[in-house]
Structures are given as C-alpha cells and as structure tokens.
Structure 1
Amino acid sequence: MQYFYTVRTGDRLSKIAEQHNVLLANLIAANRIQNPDQLAAGEQLSIPASMHNYIVQSGDSVYQLAEKFGVSIATIAEENQLLSPYLLKVGQRLRIPPGVPYYTVQEGDTLEVIARRFNVRTKGITKISLIQELNQLATTAIKTGMRLKIPYAPIGESGFIAYTSRLEGGPDIWLYDVESGVNKRLTTDIGGSYSKPIWSMDSSKIAFVGKNQIIYIIYLESGLIGAIDQLAEGGDFTLNWSPDNETLAYTARGKIILYNTRTHESQQVNQPGASNVNWFPNGKELLFQAVDREGVHQLYRSSLTGTDREQITKNTEGPLHEVQLSKDGKYVLYTTPGVSISLIDVVEVASGKTFEVKGGPEAKNYFPTWASDSKQFAYSSTELKGQQYRSQIRTVRFDGKNDQIQALSNCYSTPVTWSPKHERIAYLSGCGEEYASEMWAVDIEKKFLVKLIDDNQIDALQWSPSAIADFTTAEFTSDVYEVNFQYPLGWRKVNEERYEGDDGFFQVSAISGSDNLEEVCQAEANQELLPYGSKPTILSSENPEVESCLILPSDDQPTDMKNQAAFIVKYPMPITIKDTTYNYFILWADKKHIKEISSTVMFLP
C-alpha cells in the first residue's frame, strides 16, 4: 500500500525526498512528475519509502515530529499506540509513517487517472481492479473527497524471488511470485538464522544451509526436500551450483565437496583450508580461497581433481569475503578486510589485474552481486545520515566506473539481487531493531520503486536466474468444459469439478445467459441467498479481447461459503454438454486464489 504526503507552502521536491529518506529520482518516478520545479500546495505525492525508525532526542515532542515529517499527530500516535498527552522519553524508538495510507480523490479524478499517475500497472497495463479490490468498490465510480488506498501492482514478469522469512515461526524459505505477487512457504521449521536460498541456474532447485548447519536442497518441480550433508558450526556456508545445474560445490571437513543431485554421489577435492568455492562456467574448473605458503589468503583455480592449481590474486592483506565469480568467468569480486571497514575489489582472472571500487562514504560496502551480463554488479553501501544509518543500493561497472545510487533502504545494510535480465534490483528495507519487514524492487532505467512484500521478517533473498514456469502449481484440464488452468500444487481432487487444499479450493461449471456479460455477472453476484454477501464487488476484465468478470465477496459473506469468489468468462463459441448449450464458463475459488487461478484460464482448441 502506498503512503501519501500533502505538499505544504514552501516545499521543494528535493527537501521532501530527503525528509522521507528517498532518492529524488525515485520520488519523481513514483508520481510521474514532468516538471520537478512545479509543486502546488495541497498536492498529494506518493512516497515510496519505509517507516522512519526515529529515536527520540531531548526536547522532542509528538507535535514537533509531526511538523518535521509532514504527518498528523494522530498518525504518529496511532502507529506507536501513544495515549494523550503523548509524553515521550529520550531514547524511545518511534515508527513514523512517510505519510497517510490513502489518497484523497480530487475533482476530475477517475480510477484510471489515479492508477496511471501512481503506477498501478503490470506489464504496462493499468490495473484499476487492484484499487477496486483493496477498497471494496462495487463499481468504478468514485467521488471527490473519497479516501482510497492505493496498492503497488505486481511487476508481472515470470519468475520468483526466494527469501528467508520468520513470519510464521521459521526462519524458513519462501517464494514470492514476481508475476502474481503471491507468496508461498516452501519449508517448515528447518531454516536457520544464516539460511540463504541459492538457485540453480535453470531455477529448478534451491540449496540452503538450514537448522543445525544441515545442507538442504529443494526440488521445486516435485516439492521434495533432501538433506545432503552437515557443516561445522561457524564454518564456510558458501554453496555454488555447477553450470549444468546438477552438482553443488561447498567445503566441509577441510575439503571441497562436489555433490551430484542426480546420482546422489559426492566427490572430494583435496584443497586444504579451501573456502568460497565457485564454479567456472566451463564446468571443469573451480575457483576457491586458500592460504599461500606465507599464510596469506589468496584466490586459486584448479581442475575438479584438484590438480593444475593456479594462483589468481596477489593479496597482502587479510581474508577475502563474499567471493563471487562473474557469470562469464572473467572477473571475480570480493570484500576486504572485514566488517567495520569493507572495501570491494574486482580481479581480472586472466591477468590478475585488480580494480578498486571506491564505494560509499563510510567504507562499509556489503553484499556485492553480479548481474547476468557480467559487466556490472550491485551492492549495499552504509551511510550515516544524521544520527541514523541507512544503506545506498548502488550499481557499478566491473572496473569501478559509473558507480550510481539507485535507491535507499533504512537498513544498516541489505542483500541485493538482480532480475534475470538485469533490469531491476530487489533489496530489503523497513528495518526495526532486528529484521527487515519489507522487500522492494527498483527499475534501473525508469527509477520506479515497487514494494513487493510488507509486514514480514526477512533475512536474505535471491531472484531466480531464469524466467521459469511456476513449479508451485499443478495443471487442471477438462475436456467437458474445454478449459485448462493452473492451481496450487498439493490440492486434492474431490470430484471431476472440485479440488480442495488446506488453504483454498476451486470448482468449475458452465452457465447459460444473455450476450450481455454485465447482466450475467450481476445475476451471479446478487442471488437471493447472498452467497457473496450483500455488497459484492464486480471487476470487469481490463483486457479488451477477453469478456470476463471477477466477483469478490463483501465482508458480510456467510462463513460457510469459505470466502468463495467467482470468475465468469464468455466462451469463444458456445459449448454443448449433455444436449444443453452454454456460452459462459464459471470458476469458483476462494478469494485468496481466484485471481491467481483465473489468470491462467485457457480454452482448449
């Protein structure tokens, strides 16, 4: 959900951006501003930023903080459960929203106008239905003065972001569907505080180090999870997939281990003290860190048998961290020397030439991650702003040139991950005392920010390397109703028309009706027994080539209906079932899954 700030007399866009911990370019993109120098008092701006985690200073009052951040006293009081007279203590931590969680409709506004202005769009298509659904609007009609919640729309690309979450116990591995915005839990109570999901290059498997330092592999197509080894506490937890997506490399018991996930056999490579193992793209060589004869940490390459060892670096300092080979195998990056001071170097593998990355203002540069083009990488750089730390999401060329800040996070540091075509970077924000509560993505070219996940507890994330099919779904095909669609994996067949799971259901049928789709949808939604409640919302398709509607229940829907919603779509040509002709297909499903399932409906040829 987006937050809105009302422009005050004397405000400048740059001042508003700095006040709310957001880059000016991101603020301009969020509001599609054509002329940054033209601001009108009373204008409402979407603020793509996290909550301020403010520490109360001597002399602070709720009134002063409300003035400083441009929000109401009531907003601060409600967010922090403060009671009148709102007394504060020095050192007290307050969560201050970047604005109010609604947009006030202005004269001349329509849902289409609002959705376009605030980027409620997926794959370039304006999604007014998302605004309707969030606000439970039965129609698209709105009035001046209405307060509307404005959502962030899903990006709409095929693929997933795997992340570690503590939301429901855990920590465990979850998947965020970039196309639909749906989250799905993959593991239950086997994660650890150090768990980082690592995708195979074909995006069919995820490896991670879980509870008790056990290495697990998730086979996404089958849903199976296998435990393959156990590492020493406090050891090297680097995991790296082979280019053919079959073999996982890691270090254990003083050796490099190559575990084949197809044959379930392992090979040991004798490289004493090795760590940070990476595969070269030829699949025949490994890169790793080990000490030289003087006890100094260096990077080496060798064959899979451990022979033909060749030193790459000429390091004279301490250990190297976050070692990562570029996708083409030409460059390797790492951070050094430690945590309080963390600098990034890039080494050309063939020549040993080193490029130093200047980095951020505090020399605290973390989580460097290569883009798939091997020409650039992203990283998080810590910055002290006032009395609080924040992190800059930066991109830079392999040679240290063209270092740019793409976005800001209110976390001290954050892992970063690239989309498959290196158009976007996802990162964490919304940090409180322990964990990040939000996941964001920034469009590198357009500078537009999208909040992907909110109200969570996230430690790590990684975008799937390739645009993949949804391995969390199964396929339903009916020759009777002449349809095919995807539904959540694990749901059980009740009969030919109905499937159920622990978290939802679907049922299919066909109906006859007039050629007027609106009449058919109204008739289904407003039945005498009110199966969708007294005020259901009807959303018409935003695709002009498809005649369909969604029916979403109102809050007073009878509980025995199990949150039933409906999707009605007109057949290209009427079908006949047992001598009866039908011109509409109808899908019933729970409200949580109706949009996800209906978006995959296809008629059989």
Structure 2
Amino acid sequence: MLYQSILGVIALYIYTVERGDTLFLIARRFRTTVDLIVAANRLPDPNRLLVGEKLLIPVLGPIRVKVQPSDSLWAISQRFDVSIEVLATANIIRPPYTIFPNQVLVIPIVLPQGMGCIAWVSNRTGRPDIYVRTPQDQRARRITFNLALESSVPAWSPNGNLIAFIGRGNALWIVDPRTLNAVRLIENLQIFTHFDWSPNSTAIAFSRREIVPAIITIEIATGQTQFITEGTEVNYLPDGRRILFESSRTGLSQLYIINADGTGLRQVTRNTEGGVIQSVVLSSDGSRAAYTFPGVSISMVKIVDLATREEFETPAGPLGRDFNPVWSLNGLYLAYNASTEEGPAGLRGIIRVVDANGTFVQDLTDTACFGDQLTWGPNSTRVLYSNCLMVHPQLSVVGFTGLPIQITSLGGNENPDWTSVNCPPV
C-alpha cells in the first residue's frame, strides 16, 4: 500500500532511515525506484545508509507532459519545481538531456492538494524575490522583481489581497500578487523590522528603531503615518483599536496594550528579570500572546493571558534555544522552532506544538532549518516550514499525522506565509 501524505495524495516525502533499511526496501515500500532516491539525495554511497538519516523520496505519479518544440528538459524542470537530475532519472534521459517534440515525460512528483495561497522568498533566479503558489500546483509565480532581500518575510494582509515585506532600500513594500504592482511605503528601516497588518487590511503598524524605538502606523492608501508610542514588537488586537507591543520604559522588557490613538496604556506582563521580549505573536481571538525571552543564546517561549496576566511556560527544546512561535488560526495550538544539534549539517530545528496553556502536544519533525520561520495552514492541522536537508532550504509541509513533504526543489526557499484566500491564476 502506498504511503498517503497528510495532504491526501502522494508527494515527495521526507523519510527517516530505520535500522535494517536499504534503498531497495525503501523504494519497494514507496513504489518508487532506487535510482530516483539516489538522484534526489545525491548519495555518495547508495549502499551505506545511517540510522536516523533523512531521505527525500520522489514517487512517480500520474502527471505527464507532452514536450513542445520550444521545450528543454531544464525549462520543464523549472516549470514544475523539480531538479533536472530527478526529472532525467524518472524518464531515463542521460546528459546532455536531449528531448524531442511530442515526447511524453512523467513528472516524479504528485502535487499535494490544499486550500489557500503560499507566499515565500526564493533565490531560484540568482537573487531573492517573492513567489506565490497554491499547495496543489507546483508552478510558482514570481511577483516581485529585484525588490526582496534574503531576510524578507512576506506577510499576507488579512483579506488576502496584498503582501507586505521589508525589501530593497530597507523599505516597507506592499505588492498585489494579481497585478504585480509594488508600492514602497516607507524607507530606512532595519531589515528585521517587525510589522503587523491592521485587521481591516488598510494600515500597517511597525517599529522604527531610532535612539528610542518608535511604534508608527501607516495608511496603505495615503501613506499617512502616525506615531503611537515608544516600543517594539507591535501587534494589532482583533478590534483594530488597540495595539500590543514591547517596551523597556520601566527598565525591564514588558508587554503593554495601548489604544491606537496613544491613550489608555496598560501593562500586561510582570517580568522581573533582565532580557528582551521578542517574536511577539497574538492569537487570532486576541486573548493570548506568545513571545521569546530572554535573548538568543538562551531563548524560551512563553504565553501570557492578556486579560488575567497569567503566564505559562512551554517545554524547552534540547538546547534551550526556541524561536519564532506562531499560533494556529483556530487558536488551539502554538508551534515554535526548537533548536537541536542532530543532523550532519549541524544545528536543525524541531517543530514543537503546545496548546494554549503551553502544555506539550507533539513534535512534528526535526528537519526544520535552525531558527527559521513557520506558518500554519488555514485549517490549523499542518505547518509549512523550510527544511535544511540539502545545500539550500526547501519548503516543506508537516502535520499531526503522516510524513513531512517537501514541495520545492529549485534554489533556496524560506520564510513562508499561508493565507486561506486562493492564489491568482498562473
């Protein structure tokens, strides 16, 4: 029986080698070929597998394309986001990879099904830009042109119409993925500036780090800015009239809530230790916030109830360096990237899931890139992340059941965001 992916169909799996495994047994289990597994993983010695080693498993599927007169194997590999080596192996084509018009090629990936639209940063053309695609379509659409940075973190507006990111000129940009129209809102920010969309998608709040960090809002339509207060790590509450943020105005890093007009300041956390609250994220109903503390060398994820001010600790990862918490859309789960030393390339991340009280639920995978961004899918059952199994990070999906699935192959791909709104047509 074929392994079924968490997205409902067969795909490119990430498999962990177990004791007694051989490539032949793994290939037979997944109904694929040894040659395809070797090509996907560039194995130096196919006869030597290590227990715990991660392998990419391409599975031959029903996707077939007829070669057009202008096609090349490289062009088809780019179109379907699969390496030319894997595509050639699947079709028994050897260098120089000659193909002919009307030849039928099999694509060695069955596209996963899923709702919504994914945005992320990719350097597949040699420099970083923002791309979008649906989970079930391997074809990615480039929507910016020489505007993004390697550090850009695209963020969908709540209505799914626009994407904001920090890009060229250290500026805050917005882009319409349908028209490809990009607008520079404000310049001279730090490349890791934290920002947040207003619930009605008409404004963005961000922190400008000067001598004293300032929280500012900017209207999308007019570009009008408004200073709110001193602080960082800004998040709109669901009513759009209040803002959650971090400030060290009393000497210690704390979370506060303030009205969007700068009135009604209220302290939320009761921190008594040195350090800095970072990576603040708000649950969809605005009842709880998660954040990391106290720094980078030691970083724990904490949760605070905004009404009662009660705080909850989460189980630390193996190294006590946990990053980038993100709430599921239904508010039931919090996922974060817990660092681990496991892996031939050094540090990797465990995707750890806890409930709203910080109680451990499940470790989904240990294949995440160290400290990288995560995002939940619209149905709150799976997480999109970047794996670092090869030279370049690749987008992957993992859920509470099933194996992780890699969904990109070309260049480096990371910092994803996932909206429930459908993608524009390619």
Distance 1:4 1:432, change over 3 A: closer
In 2, Cα distance between the equivalents of 1:239 and 1:351? 26
Q: 1:129 aligns with which of 59, 63, 67?
A: 63
- Checking the alignment, whether the CA contact within 8 Å between 1:356 and 1:400 is kept in structure 2 is yes
Question: Alpha-carbon deviation of 1:43?
Answer: 11
Match of 2:268 in 1: 312
Match of 1:391 in 2: 349
Match of 2:361 in 1: 403
In 1, Cα distance between the equivalents of 2:175 and 2:261? 27
Are residues 1:255 and 2:259 paired? no
Question: Alpha-carbon deviation of 1:136?
Answer: 5.8
Alignment of 1:53-132 (within 5 A): 66-69=47-50, 98=55, 128-130=62-64
Deviations 1:19-40 (A, max 9, x none): 99xxxxxx9xx9589xxxxxxx
Q: Structure 2 length as normaliser, TM-score?
A: 0.77
Match of 1:419 in 2: 377
Are residues 1:242 and 2:198 paired? yes
The farther-off stretch of 325-334 and 360-369 is: 360-369
Question: Alpha-carbon deviation of 1:383?
Answer: 1.3
In 2, Cα distance between the equivalents of 1:292 and 1:52? 53
Alignment of 1:336-351 (within 5 A): 336-351=293-308
- Name the amino acid aligned to 1:347: V
Distance 1:412 1:345, change over 3 A: same
- Checking the alignment, whether the CA contact within 8 Å between 1:429 and 1:440 is kept in structure 2 is yes
- Checking the alignment, whether the CA contact within 8 Å between 2:237 and 2:243 is kept in structure 1 is yes
Match of 2:169 in 1: 212
Question: Alpha-carbon deviation of 1:13?
Answer: 7.2
Question: Alpha-carbon deviation of 1:163?
Answer: 0.6
Match of 1:560 in 2: none
Deviations 1:42-93 (A, max 9, x none): 9989989x8599xxxxxxxx76x842449xxxxxxxxxxxxxxxxxxxxxxx
In 2, Cα distance between the equivalents of 1:447 and 1:43? 21
* Unpaired runs of at least 5, structure 2: 1-10, 68-86, 93-104
Distance 1:130 1:359, change over 3 A: farther
- Checking the alignment, whether the CA contact within 8 Å between 2:17 and 2:50 is kept in structure 1 is no
Q: 2:127 aligns with which of 136, 155, 170?
A: 170
Are residues 1:458 and 2:417 paired? no
- Checking the alignment, whether the CA contact within 8 Å between 1:380 and 1:392 is kept in structure 2 is yes
In 1, Cα distance between the equivalents of 2:128 and 2:20? 36
Q: 1:277 aligns with which of 228, 231, 234?
A: 234
Are residues 1:378 and 2:335 paired? yes
- Name the amino acid aligned to 1:463: W
- Checking the alignment, whether the CA contact within 8 Å between 2:121 and 2:131 is kept in structure 1 is yes
Deviations 1:520-567 (A, max 9, x none): xxxxxxxxxxxxxxxxxxxxxxxxxxxxxxxxxxxxxxxxxxxxxxxx
Question: Alpha-carbon deviation of 1:150?
Answer: 7.3
In 2, Cα distance between the equivalents of 1:397 and 1:227? 38
Match of 1:323 in 2: 280
In 1, Cα distance between the equivalents of 2:14 and 2:207? 49
Question: Alpha-carbon deviation of 1:452?
Answer: 0.8
- Name the amino acid aligned to 2:356: F
- Checking the alignment, whether the CA contact within 8 Å between 2:13 and 2:405 is kept in structure 1 is no
In 1, Cα distance between the equivalents of 2:122 and 2:292? 26
- Name the amino acid aligned to 1:205: L
Question: Alpha-carbon deviation of 1:97?
Answer: 8.4
User: What is the aligned length?
Assistant: 375
Are residues 1:467 and 2:421 paired? yes
Bigger CA radius of gyration: 1
In 2, Cα distance between the equivalents of 1:278 and 1:401? 24
Q: 1:183 aligns with which of 129, 140, 145?
A: 140
Question: Alpha-carbon deviation of 1:4?
Answer: 11
Alignment of 1:383-532 (within 5 A): 383-385=340-342, 388-409=346-367, 411-430=369-388, 435-436=392-393, 438-444=394-400, 446-464=401-419, 466-468=420-422, 470-471=423-424, 473=425, 488=426
Question: Alpha-carbon deviation of 1:161?
Answer: 1.1
Q: Structure 1 length as normaliser, TM-score?
A: 0.55
Match of 1:571 in 2: none
In 2, Cα distance between the equivalents of 1:230 and 1:303? 25
Secondary structure, counterpart of 1:212 in structure 2: helix
Question: Alpha-carbon deviation of 1:247?
Answer: 1.0
- Checking the alignment, whether the CA contact within 8 Å between 2:194 and 2:234 is kept in structure 1 is yes
Question: Alpha-carbon deviation of 1:251?
Answer: 1.9
In 2, Cα distance between the equivalents of 1:426 and 1:192? 20
- Checking the alignment, whether the CA contact within 8 Å between 1:192 and 1:212 is kept in structure 2 is no
Deviations 1:184-225 (A, max 9, x none): 111111112321101111111100000221110012343211
Secondary structure, counterpart of 1:385 in structure 2: coil
- Checking the alignment, whether the CA contact within 8 Å between 1:214 and 1:230 is kept in structure 2 is yes
Question: Alpha-carbon deviation of 1:164?
Answer: 0.9
Question: Alpha-carbon deviation of 1:131?
Answer: 9.8
Match of 2:75 in 1: none
